[in-house]
């Protein structure tokens, strides 16, 4: 075991780290924080968690040298998935390096047995800073093991935001400007089309156009195989894949309807198993679902949940639809951005629907109240569409006593007073940009 660790440490000493394009997430501010915490960086596979570590590492190595910070990737095939490896890791580092190691960067450590108990012991017994990444909710604040509670601080990483996407594409936009010129609007609109088509996965954004879908398909295959089937020992692989295809071609789901549809396709999957499968998919961060807003828990469990995916690129790549559903892509982008903005805050996301079928896409609950209602509509210029969206928004505003009403759409910007309600209309590109 010691020999394997020394080999990996030797590789680390010789490794040249890549240059990193800065993200809006800055892990530097957690260095030396008091009280000391284990920094847990979570998110979907390949969203850039490792590169965020590299960004911090590049700075540390320039200031302190190679031995004072150690990076271990637990996806390395040379690392045996045995607790003995973790037990021997720190003693071997101390014997191998002449200087004391101050910081450990541990990539995808949740693959190791007893990882949380080992982290707890190192945290309690060693004066070392620890950064951990994970592409499973097993390391998230929602499911963090008992022994680590109160000792961790979670930092969630999503695919590139639109402003980060523009930075990666080297498109300069003055987000502090009061107005945008016509040329800037055209340039931003073109970039938004690409963002909606291929998504914001960093490697995909930087890849040539002919490789983007191929990379997305590889990501999808990896998450299905490694993060779901292998991690949870799924026996009915074809049933799981069929369920995921159904979800990718849907905007909402209920377990009963999923069960009936799969049964009609000759997939014998029980409802309890389906519940587990959906949970596995959400635990991999590939999918997020929103419940209906209701003070009755029974309603939240009974009504269909709206479904969103971590990146629009997967909808366009894996979905069997022959044309792009721009309304769905708009709504998915808004959902992911709301999840990004609400993380770490006392905010919950729902959708709203009344008995007559009027629906509002997002109800943003902050504390005990609904603080904002948001409709997302690609083409608000269609009179019938606008009337339908506005009526639902006004109805929800009355019922939930919420005055902050918004419509995110393709091009229209302005404010209108309708049925004594002030409604703000904002183009998607502008809503996505800070400022």
Full DSSP string of 100-146: ---EEEEETGGGSTTHHHHHHHHHHH---EEEEEESSGGGSTTT--G
Domains contained in the chain, number: 2
Instruction: Identify any residues that bridge with 409 across adjacent strands, giving them in sequence order.
Output: 427
- pLDDT for res 282: 95
pLDDT of residue 14: 83
Which one of 110, 126, 157 terminates a domain?
Answer: 157
The residue among 95, 142, 146, 155 whose CA lies nearest residue 119 is 146
Task: Compute the mean pLDDT over every residue in the chain, rounded to the nearest whole number.
Answer: 91
Average pLDDT over residues 342-369: 95
322 against 272, higher pLDDT = 272
Q: Which pLDDT tens digit goes with each residue over 6-30?
A: 999 888 888 888 889 999 998 999 9
Torsion from C-alpha of 159, 165, 170, 174, nearest 10 degrees:
-130
Question: Would you say 49 and 43 are in contact if contact means Cβ atoms under 8 Å apart?
Answer: yes
pLDDT in tens, 283-315: 999 999 999 998 777 767 788 999 999 999 999
Res 410 pLDDT > 60: yes
- Looking at the structure, tell me whether residues 144 and 209 fall in a common domain: no
150, 185: one domain: no
173 and 129 within one domain: no
Separation CA 334–CA 408 (nearest Å): 9
Residues 374 and 403 in one domain: yes
Share of the chain above pLDDT 70, in %: 97
Looking at 1-5, 303-307, 392-396, which range is the least confident one? 1-5
Considering the domain architecture, whether residues 97 and 244 belong to the same structural domain is answered as: no
Among 67-81, 272-286, 409-423, the range of highest mean pLDDT:
272-286
Domain extent for 143 = 2-157
Residues 242 and 315 in one domain: yes
Q: Pick from 141, 157, 173: which residue ends a domain?
A: 157
pLDDT band at 92 (very low <50, low <70, confident <90, very high): very high
Q: What is the pLDDT of residue 352?
A: 97
170 shares its domain with 152:
no
Q: Residues 264-277: what's their mean pLDDT?
A: 94
Same domain, 78 and 110: yes
Q: Please indicate, yes or no, whether residues 236 and 191 belong to a single structural domain of this protein.
A: yes
Please tell me whether residues 331 and 396 are part of one structural domain.
yes
| One domain, residues 297 and 321 | yes
pLDDT tens for residues 94-151?
998 888 888 999 999 988 999 999 999 999 999 999 999 988 777 777 777 778 888 9
Sign of CA pseudo-dihedral 376, 381, 385, 391: positive
Strand, coil or helix: what is 217?
Answer: helix
Dihedral angle sign, alpha carbons of residues 72, 76, 79, 83: positive
Distances (CA, A) of 128 to 43, 60, 109, 147: 24, 14, 17, 18
pLDDT band at 371 (very low <50, low <70, confident <90, very high): very high
Alpha helices in 224-370 (DSSP H): 237-248, 255-264, 271-283, 297-302, 312-318, 326-342
The answer to whether the bond into 35 is cis (omega within 30° of 0) is: yes
The pLDDT tens digits of the residues spanning 65-79 come to: 777 899 999 989 999
- pLDDT band per the 50, 70, 90 thresholds, residue 375: very high
- Residue 4, pLDDT > 70, answer yes
pLDDT band at 235 (very low <50, low <70, confident <90, very high): very high
Q: Tell me, yes or no, whether 6 and 28 share the same domain.
A: yes
CA-closest candidate to residue 139, choices 108, 97, 172: 108
Nearest to 99 by CA among 141, 129, 134, 68: 68
Q: Has residue 177 got a pLDDT over 80?
A: no
CATH of the domain at 110: 3.40.50.300
Q: What is the pLDDT of residue 135?
A: 83
Check the CA dihedral 313-319-324-325 and report its sign: negative
In this prediction, residue 64 has a pLDDT band, given cuts at 50, 70 and 90, of confident
pLDDT of 124 reads 93
pLDDT attached to residue 111? 80
Q: Which residues contact 185 (CB under 8 A, 6 or more apart)?
A: none
Answer yes or no: is pLDDT of 176 > 70. no
Q: Single out the residue in 139, 157, 175 at which a domain terminates.
A: 157
Residue percentage of the chain with pLDDT more than 90: 71
Q: Return phi, psi of residue 210, to 5°.
A: -75, -10
Higher pLDDT, 242 or 323: 242
Window from 316-325, 334-343, 412-421 with minimum mean pLDDT: 316-325
Residue 215 has pLDDT above 80, yes or no: yes
- Say if residues 236 and 269 touch (Cβ distance below 8 Å): yes
């Amino acid at each position: 075991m010691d020999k394997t660790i020394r080999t990996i440490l030797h590789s680390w000493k010789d490794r040249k780290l890549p240059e990193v394009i800065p993200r809006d997430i800055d892990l530097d501010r957690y260095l030396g924080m008091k009280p000391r915490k284990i920094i847990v960086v979570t998110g979907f596979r390949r969203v850039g968690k490792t590169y965020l570590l590299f960004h911090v590492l590049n700075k540390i190595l320039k200031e302190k040298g190679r031995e004072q910070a150690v990076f271990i990737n637990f996806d390395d095939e040379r690392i045996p998935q045995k607790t003995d490896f973790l037990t021997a890791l720190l003693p071997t580092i101390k014997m191998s390096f002449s200087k004391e190691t101050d910081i450990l960067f541990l990539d995808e450590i949740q693959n190791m047995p007893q990882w949380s108990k080992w982290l707890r012991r190192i945290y309690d017994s060693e004066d070392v800073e620890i950064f951990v990444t994970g592409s499973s909710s097993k390391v998230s604040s929602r499911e963090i093991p008992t022994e680590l509670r109160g000792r961790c601080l979670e930092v969630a990483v999503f695919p590139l935001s639109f402003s980060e996407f523009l930075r990666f594409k080297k498109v300069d936009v003055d987000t502090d400007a009061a107005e945008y010129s016509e040329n800037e609007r055209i340039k931003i609109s073109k970039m938004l089309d690409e963002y909606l088509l291929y998504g914001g996965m960093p490697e995909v954004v930087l890849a040539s156009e002919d490789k983007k879908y191929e990379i997305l398909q590889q990501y999808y295959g990896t998450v299905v195989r490694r993060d779901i089937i292998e991690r949870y020992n799924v026996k009915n692989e074809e049933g799981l894949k069929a369920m995921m295809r159904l979800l990718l071609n849907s905007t909402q789901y209920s377990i009963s309807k999923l069960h009936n549809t799969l049964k009609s396709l000759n997939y014998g999957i029980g409802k309890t198993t389906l519940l587990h499968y959906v949970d596995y998919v959400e635990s991999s961060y590939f999918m997020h679902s929103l419940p209906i807003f209701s003070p009755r828990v029974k309603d939240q469990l009974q009504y269909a949940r709206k479904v969103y995916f971590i990146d629009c690129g997967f909808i366009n790549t894996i979905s069997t639809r022959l044309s792009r559903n721009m309304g769905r892509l708009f709504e998915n982008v808004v959902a992911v951005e709301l999840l990004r903005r609400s993380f770490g805050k006392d905010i919950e996301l729902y959708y709203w629907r009344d008995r007559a079928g009027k629906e509002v896409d997002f109800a943003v609950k902050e504390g005990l109240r609904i603080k904002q209602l948001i409709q997302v509509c690609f083409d608000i210029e269609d009179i019938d569409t606008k009337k339908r969206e506005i009526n639902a928004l006004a109805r929800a505003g009355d019922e939930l006593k919420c005055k902050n009403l918004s419509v995110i759409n393709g091009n229209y910007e302005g404010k209108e007073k309708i049925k004594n309600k002030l409604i703000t209309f904002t183009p998607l590109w502008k809503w996505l940009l800070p400022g």
